[in-house]
Chain A
Amino acid sequence: MNTKTAEGRRALGPLSAASFMRLGATYLGLIVLDAAALYLMYAFAADGIWELAITIGLITLGVNIINLRADLYALRWIAPALSLMTLLVVFPIVYTVYVSFTNYGDGNLLTKTQVLKLLAEQTYLPEGGKVYGWNLYQNDAGDYALWLTDEVASDSYYFATLDSFEPVSAVAAGGELPEQFQGYRQLSRGESLKAASAAQALSFGGAQARIGIAGRREAGEFAPRYEYVEAQDAVLDHKSGELFPANYANGQFESAAGATLFTGFVSAIGTKNYESFIERDDIRGPLARIFAWTIGFALLSVISTFSLGLFFALLLQSKRIPFKRAFRTLLIIPWPIPGLISVAIWRGMLNSNLGVVSNIIRAFGLEPPPFFIDPTWAKISILLVNLWLGYPYFMLVCSGALAAIPRDMYEAAEVDGANWRQKFRSLTLPMLLVAVGPLLIASFTYNFNNFIIIEAFNEGGPPMVEAGTVPAGHTDILISYAYRLAFGGGRGADYGLASAITIIIFLLVAGVTLTQYRLTKGWEEISENV
């Protein structure tokens, strides 16, 4: 087998039976993988989701090359991780970029290929087509069938099940219909009426004839309603005779009169989503405020959690404090509790009318502030909750960093007659910031995307009035705003716009990270570690 390095081959000599079997297993595995991948690629391509088909193809190609070339042996170990990261981290980022340039959203949820497939299934009853009278039958399995009477020559009958259509000659003209026929039972008038709406959605007669129920007494032979005219890239509606050319500017099949078909398709609409940041009043105003609050929230969170954490760490440094370990354990309790649960608890405690905090405030004869309704109070509350969630981390980190500052530096400062304030400002803090600085920046980017606290505390609320129908709240940060646009309901999903906002986040996060590496010369450190 070719999975051996030079040393291994020397040790084991020529191809042994065991290694031959392992080679076979490799090939077998690859064949199974390739077959599955090919099926998926075909399925996605048939849906018109080329980007996913291509990604899967590239991953499979990579896995094959890595496993078949002996000189890429080292990569074989990394291939699973690389495949997963490509599919679930890299592809989503690239796909987000793509979606941000499209109109993907409610009303435009399917690819053009999928829409055409859907249109091809639509049928209609053409004028001048053959019309029958119908009676409904049902078998024990619950399947329906139609007894059809030719309206013109009322002596000819047909029987249409879901997949067959055949003339019946056994019954005399104008005679009684049989109670039972081919295992089907005739439904009574009442039963027929009840079942009519279910039966109306069906197409009878299988491939030979597409018989459908058209009215209370009429059934007829249906014809495909839409036809895709490839030369004109348009859909022809046989019922009205109208032509609906594909309009890629809005992802609709649109007639000259401006009418559109019942569903649009995902279409690249260029930079329209990004332009709406500037052009649309209901997006520009909220977006600017959300942006400012995102930065403010992240900055204030880092500053407050770091300050309080450092303060507690300094307190716990004091030698004479009794029960130090107990204090420390109790103070880090907020840290391991799942974030969602912590935020929800605060949400309950701060409830304006009934919450325990409001009750305590009332006990002092004061009126509790509107923690959720007033924008400023909502922001203050969120910062307070985030302080509770975040200080234990910095307390732990600062304790460690403080312990690492050499004692003799303090002694030297004391000899020079420095008081504690001077020592803190010119010795402790600078030393600490060198150690903790990167964590501060990491905490900034984390809070920048701290979706849980925003969502669990107040769902971004209170809502901004000027946002109109676009869902936006005063405490929304960029990521929660993107979530609201995509999944928030109300106005309907707008994946394109949500992705465009995600791109802003990407750029900001990348910018912050790059600056961080510049400042801390992180790249050199990474190179050393490698």
Chain B
Amino acid sequence: MSEPRKKKRRRYSLAQDIQLALQILILVIAVLFAMFPILWVISASLNPSQSMVTQSVIPPLPETRTVFAEEAGTLLQVAAAEGTRVERSAELILSVQNADGEAELRSPKNGYVRNIRYQVGDAFEEGAALYDIGSSYMINFHILFDTPRKPFLRWLLNSVVVSSTTAILVVLVSAFSAYSFSRFRFAGRRNLLVLILLVQVFPNLLAMVAIFLMLQQIGNHIPFFGLNTTGGLILVYVGGGMGINIWLMKGFFDSVPREIDESALVDGANHWQTYWRLIFPLVRPVLVVVGILSFVGSYNEFVLARILLRDTESWTLMVGLWSYVSVSFAQDWGVFAAGAIIGSLPALLIYLGLQDQIVGGLTQGAVKG
């Protein structure tokens, strides 16, 4: 929009200043558009009340509310000990004896039980302060890490295991192929390279039905690679993530002078030794890039993981997080938001840390076309 100005002209006209102000204004609005969901998710993760009704950009302050007795009675039993976390606002806190017989007092809101002011057997008046419920900014994180039927740490571990194994295997296997395509000249080499690129046009997400049926059959005989297993998912990711990486690596291998390995071969090393001792260290940058992209790719993958992993215990992070918001009427946005922040961090840090390299790679590719 704004073209390079002549350097001689130091002073800007009023029209240009207005234009600049307008540009900055647009950028600020754009940043608001980009950041609004991020701010919302941070706010939601800190919001101690798990209902969406009270959602706002700034989360309400944690508060302590005292629960008063509606009528006089005697305390029969303390069902929730001091400090107990109340997740849903219907948990039993106290059993009391009043005029109508036994009654159960349930928590009116989410938070932690504090200051139970009566001992079992004590009598209390109508309107007496029974106990406090205190909320906290961290309650969503506590729930996230401590809900046995939704094992968040297990999901995180599964995700890390799947993504790092996938990344390592993809790097190793495609680097072997790239070395061969770069260093050897053999019949059918060009056709094979084109074929690999062609096959990659169809991501294996498209064949999800076939992959599901295949893993089901394989699992009957090799349980390690069946449905519901980390092994099966890794196999699918590795198989699907090969083609484009072979091309990427081959390009980089080509840029390493052939004289290096030729002299080694003349000195009596075989190809295996040349590869590991000479070439592998030289191409490390591209291996790191491919490894990171594979890691982030399989870490973020959701569709195949959801189809292939059916048990809660075997889920990856994305499948698990999805379970917090997918079921209508049982959505838990606060806990989801807490998990979303933790779950986004690895990819976010990698991308922002390596922003320049990744942008460089992208735009280079774009300019080359």
Contact = CB atoms under 8 A, between A and B. Distances in A.
Contacts of B276: none
Interface stretch (A143-151, A161-169, A195-203, A317-325): A317-325
A330 B35 contact: yes
Interface residues of A, number: 121
Contact of A344 (B174, B272, B321): B321
Interface in A410-451: 410, 414, 420, 423-424, 434-439, 445, 449, 451
Given A319-B4, A336-B351, A47 B217 contact: yes
Interface in B265-279: 265-268, 270-272
Interface string A331-349: 1111111111110111111
User: Most chain-A Cβ atoms within 10 A of its Cβ — which of B1, B185, B299, B307?
Assistant: B1
A72 to B, nearest CB: 8
A410 B1 CA distance: 12
B33 A11 contact: no
Contact of A436 (B197, B222, B265, B366): B366
A318 B2 contact: yes
A502 to B, nearest CB: 6
A81 B174 contact: yes
Contact of A88 (B52, B220, B235): B235
Contacts, number: 322
B333 A348 contact: yes
Interface stretch (B74-82, B93-101, B108-116, B239-247): B239-247
A58 interface: no
A43 B221 contact: yes
B270 A317 contact: no
Contacts of A331: 27, 30-31, 34
A89 B204 contact: yes
Contacts of A303: none
A499 interface: yes
Interface string A398-419: 0111011001001000100000
A232 to B, nearest CB: 29
Please report whether the interface of chain A is mostly helix, strand, loop or mixed according to DSSP. Answer: helix
A491 B303 CA distance: 21
A509 interface: yes
Contact of B364 (A78, A81, A336, A400): A400
User: Most chain-B Cβ atoms within 10 A of its Cβ — which of A329, A340, A424, A505?
Assistant: A340
Interface residues of B, number: 112
A272 B332 CA distance: 44
A96 B207 contact: yes
A78 B34 contact: no
Interface string A278-317: 0000000000000000000000000000000000101111
Contacts of A254: none
A407 B295 CA distance: 39
A452 B206 contact: no
A94 B316 CA distance: 28
A340 B359 contact: no
B300 A338 contact: yes
B211 to A, nearest CB: 5
A451 B207 CA distance: 13
Contact of A11 (B180, B266, B350): B266
Interface in B1-55: 1-5, 12, 20, 23-24, 26-27, 30-31, 33-38, 40-41, 44, 51-53, 55
Given A321-B24, A435-B369, A348 B325 contact: yes
A452 B348 contact: no
Contacts of A355: 52, 55
Interface stretch (B84-92, B136-144, B187-195): B187-195
Given A85-B196, A341-B343, A502-B209, A315 B362 contact: no
18 contacts: A4-B270, A8-B268, A85-B239, A99-B210, A317-B1, A330-B34, A337-B344, A344-B325, A355-B55, A356-B55, A388-B33, A388-B34, A399-B363, A401-B367, A451-B205, A495-B209, A495-B213, A526-B193
Given A96-B210, A399-B359, A530-B193, 17 more contacts: A77-B184, A88-B238, A93-B210, A312-B27, A319-B4, A327-B31, A334-B37, A336-B348, A344-B322, A344-B340, A353-B52, A354-B52, A388-B37, A400-B366, A434-B369, A437-B369, A502-B207
A-B pairs with the 10 shortest C-beta distances? A400-B363, A88-B239, A336-B351, A92-B207, A74-B184, A77-B180, A354-B52, A318-B2, A92-B210, A95-B210
Interface of A: 3-5, 7-8, 11-12, 39-40, 43-44, 47, 49, 52, 72-78, 80-82, 84-85, 87-93, 95-96, 99, 104, 312, 314-322, 327, 329-342, 344-349, 351, 353-356, 359, 388, 392-393, 396-397, 399-401, 403-404, 407, 410, 414, 420, 423-424, 434-439, 445, 449, 451-452, 455-456, 479, 482-483, 486-487, 495, 498-499, 502, 505-506, 509-510, 513, 520, 526-527, 529-530
Interface of B: 1-5, 12, 20, 23-24, 26-27, 30-31, 33-38, 40-41, 44, 51-53, 55-57, 173-174, 176-177, 179-181, 184-186, 189-190, 192-194, 196-197, 199-214, 217-218, 220-222, 235-236, 238-240, 242-243, 246, 251, 265-268, 270-272, 296, 299-300, 302-303, 307, 318, 321-322, 325, 331, 333, 336-337, 340, 343-344, 347-348, 350-352, 355, 359, 362-364, 366-367, 369
